[in-house]
Amino acid sequence: MAILDHRLTDKEYAQNFSDIHPPFETRDAALVEANRCLFCYDAPCTKSCPTGINVPKFIKQITTDNLKGSAYTIFQQNIMGGGCSKVCPVEKLCEGACVYNLMEEKPIAIAKLQRYPTEKAIAEKWPLFTRKPSTGKKVAVVGAGPAGLSCAHLLSREGIDVTIYEKENKGGGLMTYGIAAYKVTPAFCEDEVGYILSLGGITIKYGMELSRDIQLEQLRKNYDAVYLGFGVGLARQLEIPGEELQGVVDAIGFIYTIRANGYPAVPVGDKVAVIGMGMTAIDAATQARRLGAKEVTLVYRRTQEEMPCTETELEIARLDGCKVLWLAAPKEILGEEGQVRQLVCSVMQLGIADGSGRRYPVDTGETVTLEVDMVIKAAGQMPYEALVNATSLTNDRGRLVITGNTTNLPGVFAGGDCVNGGKEVVDAVQAGKDGGAAILNYVMNNQRH
């Protein structure tokens, strides 16, 4: 067993990381699907979308060949509607709410239809929005992820000058660095960010991290308001013996490396264990297989009924050949000469329900051992507690505490993962919209601190 890069040919990498949900190839194909829509009154698909996209309206616009109108309907509610159409867990949102499910028929392919006008808009740079004249007001946004970009776009449309401070060298946040490449490519993420910035009035300063390169008090002094949307990103540690061995990596870093360095340059083991069963765990497991791992096992301490990922995501992993070890919790990682060789797991059984409503796993005292040369930790993400504690912001173990959209500091607003601890991209976009609306009201009423 060995951890190696360049396991596959360029052709194999291209095939393995091709679009998992291909778009409609022809106009006719899109029209056939769009015309299945019943255009429901008080549509459940719209109500289930965190950003409130008027789904029947944008689909109706597709049926009349009004693609620019359709794209506008989507982007007006969700400026990252292109990316969200690729990465949203639609099976538990819009498509899961489609009335066709009640008729035991396939739901409308809403995500695929959403891709149809938005991809054209982004590729062809349709100027769907016009920026109002500058008001002279200035807002700083920390984080060029979905929440920050959504907030910035809303404010810029209203004539507010926005400067985004981003610690990475590309915008997009989770979309660019934290999602499987077969769902959304880095090239698309770059195009999407460029499309958002094409409105004007938004400047991104890269390589600027809060509390390292720029201080919150400095931003408060120089801007009329500040929006914090820096997300989460620290991997939760397993806190078991052997975690320091070579071959133990965190899923966030693993996926980041794939996105930043390209497929061939990413080393992967022959036999890989992935700890966790959330979306990040699934992304890590499937990509490990697609990078050339011979065997990948997802290890989860509960059962399939309690897993945080969707059935659709689990099916993707299974189709890629990933195995699942249910009711197993990592106990110890064993190695030879500093390199991972085995993962020892405690066999669990479910006890009483915890605060989330899921039954809590209890150690039976038995163990099971996996032969592995790589362990990927995907047991959750933690807030940037040290970063937050370097400020005067009220927080709960690193998660910012807000009232409405406002922190305890006047003129400082926040939203997205740095507040809720980590939800979907679409939730972050809505948080950015809410924060932008609150900031607009604040600065236009001259409530300068």
pLDDT, one tens digit per residue, over 319-357 is 999 999 999 999 999 999 999 999 999 999 999 887 777
Q: Is residue 387 over pLDDT 60? A: yes
Where do we find the tokens 């990252």?
80
Mean pLDDT computed over 182-201: 95
Question: What pLDDT sits at residue 449?
Answer: 44
Q: Is residue 74 over pLDDT 60? A: yes
In terms of pTM, does the model score above 0.85? yes
| Segment among 21-25, 39-43, 194-198, 329-333 with least mean pLDDT | 21-25
Q: Is residue 204 over pLDDT 70? A: yes
Distances (CA, A) of 329 to 190, 218, 306, 332, 381: 38, 45, 14, 9, 17
Q: Measured between alpha carbons, how far is 342 from 351 in angstroms, rounded to an integer?
A: 28
Using pLDDT thresholds of 50, 70 and 90, give the confidence band for residue 59: very high
Q: Across the chain, what does the average pLDDT equal?
A: 95
Question: What pLDDT sits at residue 359?
Answer: 85
Question: What pLDDT sits at residue 234?
Answer: 83
3-class SS at 103?
helix
Structure tokens at 319: 């189709």
pLDDT for 215-258, tens place per residue?
Answer: 999 999 999 999 999 999 888 999 999 999 999 999 999 999 99
Q: Is residue 446 over pLDDT 80? A: no
- The separation between the first and the last C-alpha atoms of the chain, rounded to the nearest angstrom, is 61
Distances (CA, A) of 327 to 192, 230, 406: 40, 34, 41
Mean pLDDT computed over 133-140: 97
Q: Measured between alpha carbons, how far is 148 from 145 in angstroms, rounded to an integer?
A: 5
Q: Measured between alpha carbons, how far is 66 from 3 in angstroms, rounded to an integer?
A: 51
3-class SS at 24?
coil
Do residues 360 and 351 lie in contact, with contact meaning Cβ atoms separated by under 8 Å? Answer: yes
Q: Is residue 5 over pLDDT 50? A: yes
Phi-psi sector, 383: left (phi>0), alpha (psi -120 to 50), beta: beta
Q: Is residue 271 over pLDDT 90? A: yes
Using pLDDT thresholds of 50, 70 and 90, give the confidence band for residue 413: very high
Q: For the residues of 210-267, what is the DSSP string, one character each? A: BTTTB-HHHHHHHSSEEEE-----EEPP---TTTTSBTEEEHHHHHHHHHHH-STT--
Determine the distance from the C-alpha atom of residue 2 to the mean position of all C-alpha atoms in its chain, rounded to a whole number: 31
Q: Is residue 410 over pLDDT 60? A: yes
Q: Is residue 373 over pLDDT 90? A: yes
Question: What pLDDT sits at residue 172?
Answer: 97
